[in-house]
Structure 1
């Protein structure tokens, strides 16, 4: 694409077929020992998979108004995935004995980019427009997709319209009616795959979504849809899929590989349970894994009940990778059985965008590029979130100011109107910045990349301190004042985040009319790091009452922060925080950091300031 968002083919040379697959890293797996393909003893069935596409069609960063790029030079989007899928299908078609490949997705499709947001909120698809992700996936020819948790972010009306626009089933066996327990989305689909000269293969694709939806989108699903555990519902449905005639069972699971839960023990079932499912539920041949945003080309586990091997694979997020699952099947006693398994991932940064997908979505893309680049105000001084995880910045203070201001105005005339208002914000996007001078929608939106809504609760001073102590576990213990590289200080591993606490689970807290000041002493143990906590220069008392502005993800239990999910709710109008920020800039016409930015918190070691470098 050029700097106006128009798609070009300049970045990658348009290649197809075998050359495209080779460039993407494809390596043909050897056939299972004891037979070849076609009329030999085995037949190879390939299943292609994507996950966590998050509204990405084009290789475009709407917040930067430029082609997407990262440190690993990944490319993103369904347009590039389409090129890989087409090349793979062409390769298989050359083998006259081979069955056609299937294409499956593991969820989180309709949220994550301004492209997705625009057609949910600005020009909602409920008005008749086809969702860009539906148009792209239909054009590519998916066979099935599982629900992701972010499918529920925009409400059930948008989700149901998206579902109706798809030319393939949207699966969710554990999305159950609140009263009856029956699935409210198709639990599985049977695909009858033709094998030239042989009996057809019946493939069962079972979809399972994340139980955390009950927490993260509580306002949308409570009293309507409940979500059973991944393992529990797989135990119920896999035998049914087999009984329905499936020779092969593929599970598309929006649940990470290894056991962990960002919501702790708030729910009785784990957030990430794909390996546990594969090890304990008989009858599964392969699992397309989603949700964790990790690249795992191949993992083989042994089912503890049957002793059979189960293959799992997770392609990287946003269309960066395409998983290829190869299953070798042998026909015996009237049924096909998997006798060999292998998987790998193909890299989307090696190929050009598919011009057929580009043509279908170019108009939608151009509309959104125009929207996000429209001027809505000015800023007196540049603000950056680059250092927000380790120092007080105007960028996060801006979020907290807008949230706190909206809550204070809404509480006027209520019993809580006299309580001091605090607010929390997380450094979602270190690359975000609002420039001095003209400010566009994308400048503001870049500070708040999630579609969270604003909620306010009441909490005591003791609970506020406990909340901050929990947040401070984001930091690694250090001795001395540095200077330290940021990697030595931030993103500490915890029992629920063994690979490191993500930036979005670290919260900075600020006061609206009076500053909330505190220090985080990294020489002290986790749970005793918050020192000199004061509001308006006065030490915070344990029984002091505050109103705390939070996002719906946090208030509903996301991140498992203490007290907030059970605290009394005093404001919840379902207003998106990002839109509040855009509306503030639009209404005032100007952002002045001097009006809300003060240095209220700091990292220290033994009371001395710590120096952190990026």
Structure 2
């Protein structure tokens, strides 16, 4: 009994002196993401001058409101490419303008919705730094980007990150403070793509290396949760720190200490696409165990992250996390696009005045075209929508080079089809009837606010440029009689340059000489055949001036021989403005294609299959070799081009 009493006293004393463990606290945090809105403020397509229920921040705002009601704690972040993308963006930047005290319509809407932070995208720089600086003043939330520096390479040009002091309700309803760091990252190629605006003004650094350096810094400042708002694509598992990669999302999931990665830029979706990528879990919305999302473009989807948080004496930690995306429309059984949500009324009311200004702007005529302009077959034959751009660029170059040492060099023009279906859907084509042409049509023909630039290349360089461009196509087997898919959808159509002023054929029975990143993968392969200038085989040593845009001239698309070093003229005018001026001066132009390129004969009858819009059928007569094959996917129609 005495022994038991001593033991009892010992145990009682132990209980009295042992500290009581802190109770574990759990909470849920919902992170909401938009990306690549590209001034798609309302559900409206300014190029077709019609309502479009597949786009619009006004639609996403409804999804945001719904998602917020489902979660006690939420945060809303935009991932960049806000200020450029359609005539609304151009109108604000180039026509109406912004002055101190003005609020850009995109920020007006986002302020109403209640964003917590935003990162900068590459297209934020299309109108120059002064415009961007003025626009940012109208945002009632911080915009961040950590890998953009002053020319000293050490001073951040923009706020690199923000640590948001917030409170979260735990599962019992009690509030707790939490510090959430949002680190912004931007594609480092902006200094190439917008060289005219940025050269000598900023420098950029690698996305992944920057994240690796910044994460410990925000951790040391007390951040409980670290989010990377990275305007970059997901890319591949081959990207490493220091690569200066354009698409580095996968690599960012490997950065120690981060809890969620927001991506965009590629105009794709995750979860959805990238499901076969190493480490990807489409069901959970993670890559390498880290929640990551890419919610489409133009307001097509809302990204939704759900994080489980635990708080102990050591602070907050993330015990699990998932991501998903919510669309604003769906395809019904007849492949028609059906809206899933309505517009948010307060957003519509706030921006309707500027929307009406843009409608007046885009509807103003400035000239006439003598034939219809369409891009339904732009990937399989010489095309009027590309032809008229090339004609305008040559016209502009002839004037700009007069009196210079280059005025006697032959001028070629490189232009690509911008609206050719693809990710934009079955209505994403240029279709301008003959007759008066308006501003909306010019914007339709040339989507981007690129500026005119000119480079010099030899005939051999022209050949390599076209070889890279021919990467648009898959390799065809001439021994197969069944229709064969022609178009490689992983190759962006804006990289399918047609060079006007020379004639050539494309042999799609040959493998690609270059891969999509400009790497020489088949040194013995030659798809470009019978390349000629003025009816004679091109002289590989002859010098040419090629008029193009700032993106391509500065290395955009990674074309061989184009790295910004052979630029001879950086014009202040946009390619689109050159097109408008060309038509205005001519008063009436004929945009019919001159048929300077075609596919090489295959020796045996083959059918090259491709998809286009349903309205393409009206133009089949333009080429007797074109036929309709049947229905395609997601509202597209399948067509065929017969070769022999």
Contact 1:481–1:604 (Cα < 8 Å) also in 2? no
Q: What do the CA deviations read for 1:126-153 (whole angstroms, capped 9, x no partner)?
A: 3754211111111111000001011111
Counterpart of 1:536? 534
**Does the alignment pair 1:490 with 2:500?**
no
Aligned to 1:337: 317
Structure 2 unmatched ranges of 5 or more? 1-22, 281-286, 330-339, 421-428, 514-525, 609-625, 627-638, 640-644
Give yes or no for the alignment of 1:362 onto 2:337: no
Shift of 1:288: 1.2
Aligned with 1:215: secondary structure?
helix
Match of 1:60 in 2: 44
The match for 1:469 is 467
Q: Which residue does the alignment assign to 1:327? A: 307
CA deviation map 1:189-219 (0-9, x unaligned): 1112223434311111111111111221122
1:566 Cα shift? 4.7
Query: Equivalent residue for 1:283?
Result: 257
Displacement after TM superposition at 1:63 (Å): 0.4
Q: Could you tell me how far apart the structure 1 residues matched to 2:176 and 2:487 are?
A: 57
For the pair 1:604 / 2:600, whether they are aligned, the reply is yes
Query: Cα RMSD between the aligned structures?
Result: 2.4
Tell me which of the two structures has the higher relative contact order, counting C-alpha pairs closer than 8 angstroms and 6 or more residues apart.
1
Alpha-carbon displacement from aligned partner over 1:356-380 (angstroms, at most 9, x marks no partner): 0111100111111111111112221
**What is the aligned partner in structure 2 of residue 47 from structure 1?**
31
Residue of structure 2 in register with 1:387 after alignment: 377
- In the other structure, the counterpart of 1:398 is 388
1:373 and 2:363 correspond: yes
Paired with 1:182 and 1:563, the residues of 2 have a C-alpha distance of 33
State the alpha-carbon separation in 1 of the partners of residues 39 and 237 from structure 2: 26
2:102–2:138 contact (8 Å) kept in structure 1: no
User: Quick check: 1:523 aligned with 2:506?
Assistant: no
Kept after mapping to 1: 8 A contact 2:30/2:75: yes
Q: Per-residue displacement from partner, 1:67-106 (whole Å, max 9, x unpaired)?
A: 225xxxxx211111111212222333xxxxx3x3110011
Secondary structure at 2:168 match in 1: coil
2:196, 2:570 within 8 Å by CA — same for their partners in 1? no
Separation (CA, whole Å) in 1 of partners of 2:297 and 2:586: 37
What SS does the aligned partner of 2:234 have?
A: coil
Taking the aligned partners of 2:79 and 2:366, their CA distance within structure 1 comes to 37
- Note closer, same or farther for the CA distance 1:607–1:224 as it changes in structure 2 (3 Å cut): farther
Name which of 536, 556, 559 aligns with 1:558. Answer: 556
Distance 1:455 1:210 in 2: 22
Contact 1:49 1:288 in 2 (8 A): yes
Aligned to 2:452: 454
In structure 2, the residue matched to 1:415 is 405
Q: Secondary structure at the match of 1:409?
A: helix
Distance 1:585 1:481, change over 3 A: farther
Change (3 A) 1:183 1:127: closer
Choose which of 109, 133, 140 in structure 1 pairs with 2:82: 109
Query: Does the alignment pair 1:175 with 2:148?
Result: yes
Structure-2 separation of matches of 1:482 and 1:602: 20
Q: Secondary structure at the match of 1:318?
A: coil
1:312: Cα distance to partner? 0.8
Q: For residues 323-359 of structure 1, what are the alpha-carbon distances to aligned partners after superposition, in whole Å with 9 as ceiling and x for unaligned?
A: 1111111110151111121221122231111110111
Match of 1:270 in 2: 245
State the 1:587 CA deviation.
2.7
| 1:524/1:309 CA distance change after superposition, 3 Å | closer
Matches within 5 A, 1:177-216: 177-196=150-169, 197-216=174-193
Secondary structure of 1:342's counterpart equals strand
Whole-angstrom distance in 1 between the partners of 2:98 and 2:74: 31
Whether contact under 8 Å (2:116, 2:141) holds in the other structure is yes
Contact in 2 for aligned 1:278/1:301 (Cα 8 Å) = no
CA drift at 1:258? 2.4
Q: Quick check: 1:445–1:582 contact (8 Å CA) kept in 2?
A: no
Of residues 246, 255, 259, the one that matches 2:223 is 246
Secondary structure in structure 2 of the residue aligned to 1:195 = strand
Is the Cα–Cα contact under 8 Å of residues 301 and 311 in structure 1 kept in the other structure? no
CA distance in 1, matches of 2:60, 2:213: 33
The answer to whether the 8 A contact 2:24-2:310 is kept is: no
> What is the match of residue 426 of structure 2?
none
CA contact (8 A) 2:305 2:322 kept: yes
Distance 1:127 1:534, change over 3 A: farther
The equivalent of 1:228 in structure 2 is: 205
Looking at structure 2, the residues matched to 547 and 286 of structure 1 have their Cα atoms a distance apart, in angstroms, of 47
Deviation at 1:227, TM superposition (A): 1.2
Going from structure 1 to structure 2, the CA distance change for 1:509 and 1:483 (only over 3 Å counts) comes to: farther
- Report which of the two structures shows the higher radius of gyration computed on alpha carbons: 2
Equivalent position SS for 1:76: coil
Partners of 2:279 and 2:226 in 1: CA distance? 15
The alignment of Structure 1 onto Structure 2 pairs a total of residues equal to 543
With structure 1 as the length reference, what TM-score do the two structures score? 0.84
Match of 1:16 in 2: none
Q: Is the 8 A contact 2:529 2:600 kept in 1?
A: no
Q: Which runs of 4+ in 1 moved over 4 A?
A: 298-302, 481-485, 607-613
1:611 Cα offset (Å): 5.6
Alignment-derived partner of residue 10 in structure 2: none
When normalised by structure 2's length, the TM-score is 0.80
Closer, same or farther in 2 for the Cα pair 1:135/1:461, shift >3 Å? same
Q: What does residue 78 of structure 1 align with?
A: 57
Pairing 1:561-576 to 2, within 5 Å after superposition = 561-566=559-564, 568-576=566-574
**CA separation of 1:504/1:531 partners in 2, compared to 1, >3 Å: closer, same or farther?**
same
Deviations 1:446-469 (A, max 9, x none): 111111111111111111111111
